[in-house]
Structure 1
Amino acid sequence: MEHFVVSARKYRPQTFKDVVGQQAITNTLANAIKNNHLAQALLFTGPRGVGKTTCARILAKMINQKETPDPDEDFAFNIFELDAASNNGVDQIRELIDQVRIPPQVGSYKVYIIDEVHMLSQAAFNAFLKTLEEPPKHAIFILATTEKHKIIPTILSRCQIFDFKRITVTDTRNYLANIAQQEGVNAEDDALHIIAQKADGAMRDALSIYDRVVSFSGNDLTRKAVTENLNVLDYDTYMQVTDLILENNIPQLLVKFNDILSSGFDGHHFIAGLASHFRDLLVCKDQKTINLLEVGEQTKAKYFEQSQKTSHRFLMEAIDLANSCDLKYKTSHNQRLLVELCLMQLASIGFDFEKKKPEPKIIPASNFEKEAVSISSEKKEIVRENEHDTSSPSEEAELPENDIATETCAKEEEEDYYSEESPATTDKSMEVEENIEANSEENQRNPAPEPESESQPVTKSPTKQSLPEIKREKVSGLSLKSITKKKELAEKQRAMMPAEEVMDESFNEEEMVTEWKNYTEKLKKKGEKILASILESQTPVLKGKDIHLTFPNETMKLDLEREENKLMNYLNKKLRNTHISLKIKVDEATSRKYAFTPQEKYEKLKEANPLIDKLRATFDLDV
């Protein structure tokens, strides 16, 4: 059995050209060596697995090769690596300082690579300061760390700092494809892309994952094998979920989420990936940002196809909902319900944006044509009267300046007065309202003809005939004269109203109760359920032509008195009798209910049957 060397060691770069994703740093170091412009203290900082230690070894090798023609010479005796995680005390630093004084036997420089330098203690840092600031000419220090903020400022100020960046998904995928070609492995582009995404910018992690997946699947590396081995949700799953969201298919969406959980995936990982998927779809919407999508060409085409089914507004709200669920996930007590609620909200976005408006109900103009013509002619007559109306100079002089400013207010109050129904016309208002629906069909079949000229007589509507044509005068809305004038107008209007029709047909209590119930049902249909319940709570009693009612409280009486006018008009019409009156009485004694104690209940029972006390004494019962 041959010894297996992991890919991270087997394919470790030997020159700066082999380093992936750090071209700016490698070019700087190569030019510094070439121009003899290299600092004696260097600090390499950045995430794990991006090539810090590799670049330090390549640098240590290259600075000694300038004077040696043999390219295979690695000058291992001139390179000293110190792991600061296990050698972080003052004694180890003192031993290092003693070694620095000795010049190299081969080559020009001795290179000291201190890995994880942030693990050194405060005393070790202080002991290392003087040597780092003024090292011997033959010594070069390369410090490497993943946490630069833990290094004291006095060390940072003595070093030339190089910040290593994360390796992009594209660079990682291309490097893995190169290794797979050398190893003879048939790897799908999407499979390598998933490995690169899982590595999160670290080449060492990517190579470790690659070794594991190749051991699982052999020489055929497929996307399905990678997703099964790494237990990751690929873009196909998120595309299926997005399609269900766009279809507003909430039941199937919840079933799909249950299948994902049954496969062993975490709900937090799922919702975070769904938010990233919506971000990728948003990136595909614009040609300027499509390069931000780090996927293969085939996958990019699928993303672009699905992005065309969505809108910017949908994606923005979807990202917001998914991100909010991601933030609340750790603090939620019912995490599954939180994700399911988020999915239901996502599937309901389409309904929120396209709210259905009710279709407008158009009433034919013929229903109101006669009334509109009569109102317009009536207004013309009032205007003509106002034009001929002239007030005496003495009356106009009596008006103060601020009364003129309130003239408009007075006119509006008078118009409101005319628009109100007088007590005399209330009797016929309900009859007119009932006849509107019966006549609407006939009006549609036989619309009223329009007047040919202004001279042609126009028939006024029945509701407007009762209104008197009274000459208006200009008065202030806030003056005493206005109040007096309104009273005079009211009296004139009452005098002009036609006399009420007197009806005196006989009826019995059964007919009265029947019409009472009919009116109650009418109130229920209108939605006035409280008033209907008041009418149903008591049965009216007929005494002569007076209807008597007894209520247990004053509130019910007041509520019925507000409706009394309409109720009596209805009963007068239905029973054909205008002499009916309503008598309402309040008797609070009928509503009193007492809560008796057990002893009081026993006393009441004993009064009704004295033998109960003998029964209690015989069997020694407690009350």
Structure 2
Amino acid sequence: MDDTPSVEPAAEPADAPGLPGFVPAPRAAATAPYRVLARKYRPRSFEDLIGQEAMVRTLSNAFDTGRIPQAWMLTGVRGVGKTTTARILARGLNYELPDGSGGPTIHMPVLGVHCEAIMESRHVDVLEMDAASHTGIDDVRQIIDGIRYAPTSARYKVYIIDEVHMLSEKAFNAFLKTLEEPPPHAKFVFATTEIRKVPVTILSRCQRFDLRRIDPGVLVAHLDRICAAEGVAVEDEALALIARAAEGSARDALSLLDQAIAHGAGHVGVEAVRAMLGLADRARIIDMFEAVMRGDLAGALAELKWQYDSGADPAVILTDLASFTHLVTRLKLVPEAGKDPALTDAERRRGGDFAGRLSIRALSRAWQILTKGLSEVQAAPRPIAAAEMLLVRLVYAAELPTPDEALRQLRDGGLGGGAGQGGASAASGPGPQALARPRPMLAISSGGGGAAAAPIAVRAEAGAQPQGQTAVRLARFEDVVALAGEKRDIGIKMALERDVRLVHFEEGQIEFALADGASKSLAGDLARRLQEWTGRRWVVAVSSQEGAPTLHEMAQVRAEERLSDAASHALVKAVLARFPGATIVDVRDVRQEEPPAEHAPPSGEPGELSDADLAAGAGSGYTDDDF
């Protein structure tokens, strides 16, 4: 809160019209200067504080039981009420009625003898010092020299030191002895926004209170009461925008409200607040989010351009997009979050719809891309260009496999042919294009009918077919590898694929040579695992013979052969020529896969595709836009 001292007329009676709980001082004359809302409605008692119920409860119990410490340390972000709380504490410590009754309390229904002077920062026994401008040991020495004298008129001498973390090391050290054993008539209240910079020797001598950011719903209700007291017409969504921009600071919220009232000439509207703050349109942000998740790059870029042309900052637009992504994630995990009064109807309704349709994987990936790219946008010489490139990255993130999908693809490639071969399972969850239909797979037959015909699959993006079930009978070495995967022993499975050069295998006995760099204990580890898994003893021996290539090496050879065969196929050459820049990502044996009826290749002998056929998507069932 603003700590500038001010001399004001006496407060109006408690039953004066206005905001309940606040007693703003009346103007002495029609020409009196205007007082900003942050000062006019500054809390004057603990009942006026909002959002700090835990601290008020603790202080109330301490005063009621007489357990009042010699020093308090108040910490929190700007504008949550640290200096105001310090003044209210000083008022409560020195509360005295005109008849001489009263004592230390936080319940002050009427103004006492010292209350007005303390709240206006002009009481002789309540000293306020700004440590940002008084950082040296000489300033602290003045406090130490004056603390020995009793208060002039009040019950306690109260020293309020704001931004105490700015004091020098010598100044802190000079405080230690006095702070630990102050005179009985002295109390200290420290306030800081950087609690980590305060020495632990000071913190250990104080009772610490962390003032919370004020909840947006509480802040909206507070602003609404003030607007009613001021006779200002206001829209609920406009107050929600102000509360969101204030980020939990009551002073920032009141300053923005003051500015909004002036901007709208007495009426606080949504469009006026949005224009004043340079914010993006929340409804259009949601439209952009939907376009991104649907994979509609053109629509997302159009929304960004509209917002930018309307005056919104690109970094603010992307920050709002990230905030809505976070909101959808919260609604998916905690549906009760939709009851937050700070949310607009569109955010609550459409956010809940997205939460039901999108996966956590899609939302977390979008969040990571946005948060990492936001710093690039802020530092870029042309922020709008950087923002557009970030949206491109976000839309096409669905082309990339997640780390677990990439690992699964590497493992499957290491196993070579057979069950489990292929990329990551598409059933593991959608990417950011979760609202769009899946991209197609172009299937082209490679030759004549019969068993010799080996179809080729040219995939437009990473994907996979579900893995097969692991065989129970260990008739082959590959069955042992599959069993290790089924038992989720990834270390043994990877070692069998990459480090074992098989010499001899039969059920109950394995003999192999070790590849370079393999673990010497692999044979013993495998024997113990097989006994646990099968319930019988296995003979596992390391041979001096060279052995066959590892499964991983064989899989690499087969993969290179498949890519080479596919690249030399006439139809694949025609496809690659028709789509410049396309590459063969994966080649899969699809002889056992029945294509969907609507995407079935035309009957008859396959042959060269003409330009007209390729342009029409013949043999695939898709058009150019699908690729």
TM-score (norm 1): 0.55
Alignment-mate amino acid for residue 161 of structure 1:
R
Equivalent residue number for residue 204 of structure 1: 251
Change (3 A) 1:126 1:275: same
Bigger Rg over Cα = 1
Equivalent residue number for residue 20 of structure 1: 50
Give the whole-Å Cα distance in 1 for the aligned partners of 2:126 and 2:573.
96
Per-residue deviation, 1:207: 0.6
Cα RMSD of the aligned pairs, angstroms, is: 3.4
Alignment-mate amino acid for residue 158 of structure 1:
R
Equivalent residue number for residue 56 of structure 1: 86
Which runs of 5 or more structure 2 residues have no equivalent in the other structure? Answer: 1-30, 103-109, 116-122, 399-432, 452-503, 506-567, 575-627
Say whether the 8 Å CA contact 2:77–2:249 is kept in structure 1.
yes
TM alignment of 1:25-174, pairs within 5 A = 25-65=55-95, 68=101, 71-75=111-115, 76-174=123-221
Alignment-mate amino acid for residue 354 of structure 1:
P
Equivalent residue number for residue 349 of structure 2: 301
Say whether the 8 Å CA contact 2:151–2:185 is kept in structure 1.
yes
1:270 aligns with 2:317: yes
1:346-388 deviation per Cα after TM superposition (whole angstroms, max 9, x unaligned) = 44543887122346879999x89xxxxxxxxxxxxxxxxxxxx
Change (3 A) 1:228 1:129: same
Say whether the 8 Å CA contact 2:446–2:569 is kept in structure 1.
no
Alignment-mate amino acid for residue 373 of structure 2:
C
Say whether the 8 Å CA contact 2:279–2:313 is kept in structure 1.
no
Give the whole-Å Cα distance in 1 for the aligned partners of 2:206 and 2:359.
51
3-state SS of paired residue (2:190): strand
Per-residue deviation, 1:322: 2.2
Per mean C-alpha deviation after superposition, the further-off stretch among 280-289 and 176-185 is 280-289
Say whether the 8 Å CA contact 1:245–1:346 is kept in structure 2.
yes
1:144-184 deviation per Cα after TM superposition (whole angstroms, max 9, x unaligned) = 11112222232222212212221121121111111111111
Per-residue deviation, 1:116: 1.4
Give the whole-Å Cα distance in 2 for the aligned partners of 1:343 and 1:90.
54
Per-residue deviation, 1:10: 0.8
Equivalent residue number for residue 40 of structure 2: 10
Give the whole-Å Cα distance in 2 for the aligned partners of 1:340 and 1:128.
55
Say whether the 8 Å CA contact 1:284–1:293 is kept in structure 2.
no
Change (3 A) 1:528 1:58: closer
Give the whole-Å Cα distance in 1 for the aligned partners of 2:569 and 2:318.
51
Say whether the 8 Å CA contact 1:281–1:307 is kept in structure 2.
yes
Say whether the 8 Å CA contact 2:129–2:161 is kept in structure 1.
yes
1:356 aligns with 2:356: no
Change (3 A) 1:231 1:334: closer
Say whether the 8 Å CA contact 2:71–2:207 is kept in structure 1.
yes
Say whether the 8 Å CA contact 1:283–1:292 is kept in structure 2.
no
Say whether the 8 Å CA contact 1:169–1:197 is kept in structure 2.
yes
Alignment-mate amino acid for residue 49 of structure 1:
G
Alignment-mate amino acid for residue 88 of structure 1:
T
TM alignment of 1:220-239, pairs within 5 A = 220-239=267-286
Give the whole-Å Cα distance in 2 for the aligned partners of 1:317 and 1:287.
19
Per-residue deviation, 1:272: 2.5
Per-residue deviation, 1:23: 0.9
Equivalent residue number for residue 318 of structure 1: 366
Give the whole-Å Cα distance in 1 for the aligned partners of 2:264 and 2:224.
16
TM alignment of 1:508-523, pairs within 5 A = none
Give the whole-Å Cα distance in 1 for the aligned partners of 2:205 and 2:356.
55
1:554-577 deviation per Cα after TM superposition (whole angstroms, max 9, x unaligned) = xxxxxxxxxxxxxxxxxxxxxxxx
Per-residue deviation, 1:216: 0.8
3-state SS of paired residue (1:44): strand
Equivalent residue number for residue 343 of structure 1: 391
Say whether the 8 Å CA contact 1:42–1:162 is kept in structure 2.
yes
Say whether the 8 Å CA contact 2:76–2:192 is kept in structure 1.
yes
1:184 aligns with 2:231: yes
Say whether the 8 Å CA contact 2:125–2:158 is kept in structure 1.
yes
3-state SS of paired residue (2:47): helix
Alignment-mate amino acid for residue 53 of structure 1:
T
3-state SS of paired residue (1:15): coil
Change (3 A) 1:361 1:280: same
Alignment-mate amino acid for residue 257 of structure 2:
Y
Say whether the 8 Å CA contact 2:240–2:343 is kept in structure 1.
yes
Per mean C-alpha deviation after superposition, the further-off stretch among 35-44 and 278-287 is 278-287
3-state SS of paired residue (2:124): helix
Say whether the 8 Å CA contact 1:81–1:115 is kept in structure 2.
yes
Give the whole-Å Cα distance in 1 for the aligned partners of 2:330 and 2:72.
39
1:161-215 deviation per Cα after TM superposition (whole angstroms, max 9, x unaligned) = 2122211211211111111111111222211111111111111111111100011
Per-residue deviation, 1:291: 4.8
Give the whole-Å Cα distance in 2 for the aligned partners of 1:304 and 1:201.
24
Give the whole-Å Cα distance in 1 for the aligned partners of 2:198 and 2:572.
77
Change (3 A) 1:138 1:527: closer
Say whether the 8 Å CA contact 2:91–2:114 is kept in structure 1.
yes
Say whether the 8 Å CA contact 2:72–2:206 is kept in structure 1.
yes
3-state SS of paired residue (1:80): strand
Say whether the 8 Å CA contact 2:279–2:317 is kept in structure 1.
no
TM-score (norm 2): 0.54
Per-residue deviation, 1:295: 2.8
Give the whole-Å Cα distance in 2 for the aligned partners of 1:68 and 1:17.
21
Per-residue deviation, 1:227: 0.3
Say whether the 8 Å CA contact 2:94–2:155 is kept in structure 1.
yes
Give the whole-Å Cα distance in 2 for the aligned partners of 1:334 and 1:186.
39
Say whether the 8 Å CA contact 2:238–2:270 is kept in structure 1.
yes
Give the whole-Å Cα distance in 2 for the aligned partners of 1:527 and 1:324.
38
Give the whole-Å Cα distance in 1 for the aligned partners of 2:70 and 2:569.
96
Give the whole-Å Cα distance in 1 for the aligned partners of 2:144 and 2:247.
38
Change (3 A) 1:528 1:59: closer
Give the whole-Å Cα distance in 2 for the aligned partners of 1:525 and 1:43.
78
Say whether the 8 Å CA contact 2:114–2:154 is kept in structure 1.
no
Per-residue deviation, 1:340: 2.0
Which runs of 5 or more structure 1 residues have no equivalent in the other structure? Answer: 369-404, 407-522, 530-623
Give the whole-Å Cα distance in 1 for the aligned partners of 2:273 and 2:83.
29
Give the whole-Å Cα distance in 1 for the aligned partners of 2:136 and 2:571.
90
Per mean C-alpha deviation after superposition, the further-off stretch among 205-214 and 178-187 is 178-187
| Selected match of 2:304 from 240, 257, 263 | 257
Change (3 A) 1:275 1:44: same
